[in-house]
Structure 1
Amino acid sequence: MSCWFILSALLSVYNKYIFGKKYFNFQFPLFMTSVNMLWHFLFSYFALDVLHLISEVNTSTQSWKSYLFYIIPCSVSAGLDIGLSNTSLKFISLTFYTMVKSSSPIFVLGFSFLFKLERVSIKLIIIIFVISIGVLLTVLAESEFDSLGFVLVIISTCLGGLRWCLTQILVQPVSRHSMHPLIAMRSLSPSMFITLLVVSLISEGPSTIFGSEYFTSFENFLLTLGIGLVQGIISFIMVLSEVKLLSLTSSVTLTIGGILKEMMMILISTLIFQDKLGPLNIVGFCITIMGILCFNIFRYLQAKRTEHDGDIMEMTINNGQSGTS
């Protein structure tokens, strides 16, 4: 969890610096993100097929049903989630980005209900409503509101909910589609790369990309390559830690674990990028955090109740066996 927390915060700051108009201002975030997915594939391939880090794990390919219904949808949603998130940083502050991204439990829970990873309950619906109110107040209070940036980040957040629920299905041991996190990354990365590259070439244009100042000289090309490589290394380790956490917990638990990260990101944004917070921004964010904390308490009590019921069942079985002996 600590590895994911640190790298996630570092990547957010790094991406804002790369894509923000006031900073490095790299104008092709979708293209850069597609290249990162290619790095992810190469890193995971190297770890699996060259270093044989998990040789004891079955690395055979998945069935066509897994690819069609899980791997490809997960890859497309993950690629667009990351690509649109990075693109939104061109238009909105890191603080506003972080606040809107904190609405992810709404979409994670929604897709968890859809895929029957969570049971629908009145308490969860109320929690989703509270988080929605907090995000709405945050958006309404934003003094430098950019509609395009907001649409991009809210779509990416929705896709992120779908992404993590599908990833949970792919990597958790109890799932019949389960695979090792490194194998999941190797399987997902090619589709993510192709998805982002196609979207990039359509929206950003190949002539515009390769005719830009980032590729006109060998020195600029090396600089661009180096920036992308650093971003690729950070994001690879971060995503690997995310997938590993999902294999041990759940998509909702990972989302809740980001509470402290979101609060820390806002502090970092105000210190590094001089982002401004209004009173209504703070109120909205606090309401959002309150909703997420309520869910955390709900899940804790639910887990305790399940554990207690399991202990009672085990005692009943043991007593029954003792009575028949």
Structure 2
Amino acid sequence: MGKGSSSEMSEGVVKKILISYAYVGIWIFLSFTVIVYNKYILDKKMFNWPFPISLTMIHMGFCSSLAFILVRVLKLVEPVSMSRELYISSVVPIGALYSLSLWFSNSAYIYLSVSFIQMLKALMPVAVYSIGVLFKKETFKTETMANMLSISFGVAIAAYGEAKFDTWGVILQLAAVAFEATRLVLIQILLTSKGITLNPITSLYYVAPCCLVFLFVPWVVVEFPVLRDTSSFHFDWAIFGTNSFCAFALNLAVFLLVGKTSALTMNVAGVVKDWLLIAFSWSVIRDTVTPINLVGYGVAFLGVCYYNAVKLKALKAKEGQKKPPPEDEEAGKLLDERDGERVPGKTDSQD
């Protein structure tokens, strides 16, 4: 029996590990695909359709429509009970920040290489921590801030070594990081603190239409006049349809990865994805990656790894506090046994 149960337990552990790796692999593949696909569409040397607001609106329109069908028509996902006041005070600000983050992030692909954008994205922990401290969701610690500075220093070295540095592209990507970090902090403040959790389907159901509305105004001013005068362009349903479907599938992959593993696993997987994208950008797209780029990103990479390790340690400590230590349990048993010796006639049923 012992050998059989041990074998079954080991098989169960192996199965869980394999499933976790499968979720990680799916998320990396889809994230990788969406990034490269967006670069292909927006880059002037490739598909040559440099309209990031329009591309983001296509994504949001597709995702909101599909989410509506899943929630309201097929009823595969239950909507969250949400009042109009809560929607305006919580979802609308998050939707506005999300639209700006996607707009600026997609715009950066017109000016910067895929590899350099991934290096700049290493600043995300710095932005999240700094904004968390500003909104009093994080406690300021000198050690953590020193780590954040080391990450920033590494990214600065990578930027210094960038062969095709573009100031406007860097500004756009840094703005995208700042807006995304603010959005993540506001989700904790405006939704999580009120006991509201949104999976990717319900998140898109509520947030995507909001993004669509916010993006409409700059689209009318910036891109619509150019698109109206570009008579040679014909909408490629295959390209934009598959691109939008990949963006929707990526949201589902995020839900599976975080739901079945943890957000920390996603952060670690993100580091692996970044290195793969840098290698792909250098070997396939033929973007220039200099030794200074790699040294700078290596410094930032070590800082991010240390940040994730500290987070993991804090998470384990928090989980450990929920369970009584084995020593306390043994002490409790010994105390019960001694009490039983002092009180004749006491049985287990009387404990």
| TM-score (norm: length of structure 2) | 0.80
Query: Which of residues 36, 40, 56 is equivalent to 1:17?
Result: 40
Within 2, Cα distance between the matches of 1:243 and 1:117?
23
Aligned to 1:212: 230
Counterpart-to-counterpart distance in 2, 1:141 and 1:254: 28
Q: Deviations over 1:80-131 (max 9, x none)?
A: 1111111111111111111111211111222333455544323321221111
| Cα 1:234–1:264 shift into 2, 3 Å | same
**Quick check: 1:159 aligned with 2:214?**
no
Matches within 5 A, 1:41-190: 41-54=64-77, 57=78, 59-167=79-187, 175-190=194-209
Q: Please, which moves more after superposition, 250-259 or 127-136?
A: 250-259
Given that residues 116 and 162 in structure 2 are in contact (C-alpha distance below 8 angstroms), is that contact kept between their aligned partners in structure 1?
A: yes
Q: Judge conservation of contact 1:85–1:153 (CA < 8 Å) in 2.
A: yes
Structure-2 residue corresponding to 1:193: 212
Q: Do the aligned partners of residues 49 and 198 (structure 1) sit closer, same or farther apart at CA in structure 2, a change above 3 Å counting?
A: same
Shift of 1:292: 0.6
Query: 1:18 and 1:82 mapped to 2: Cα distance?
Result: 15
Q: Alignment partner for residue 281 of structure 1, among 293, 317, 321? A: 293
Q: Secondary structure at the match of 1:90?
A: helix
Q: Work out the CA distance in 1 between the residues paired with 2:275 and 2:170.
A: 19
Q: Distance in 2 between matches of 1:157 and 1:115?
A: 17
Aligned residue-pair number: 314
Contact preservation (8 Å) 1:168, 1:246: no
- Conservation of the 8 A alpha-carbon contact between 1:181 and 1:244: no
Query: For 1:306, what is the secondary structure of its paired residue?
Result: helix
Specify every segment of 5 or more residues in structure 2 that has no aligned partner in the other structure, as ranges: 1-23, 340-349
Structure showing greater radius of gyration is 2
Alpha-carbon deviations, 1:224-256, whole Å to 9, x = none? x33222111111111233355556777676444
CA offsets, 1:262-305, max 9 Å, x none?
A: 11100010122101111211110001100010011111221222
Root mean square deviation, CA, Å = 2.8
1:105 to 1:184, Cα distance in 2 relative to 1, 3 A = same
* 2:286 counterpart letter in structure 1: Q
Answer whether contact 1:66 1:177 (CA < 8 A) is retained.
Answer: no
What per-residue deviation string (whole Å, max 9, x for no partner) do you get for residues 23-53 of structure 1?
1110211112112101110010111122221
8 A contact 2:107–2:172 mirrored in 1: yes
SS in 2 for 1:312: coil
Q: Which one of 37, 43, 65 corresponds to residue 60 of structure 2?
A: 37
Aligned equivalents of 2:255, 2:325: Cα separation in 1: 32
Partner AA of 2:196 in structure 1: H
Task: Report the AA paired with residue 59 of structure 2.
Answer: N
Cα distance in 1 for partners of 2:182, 2:256 equals 17
Shift of 1:308: 2.6
Partner of 1:257, secondary structure, is helix
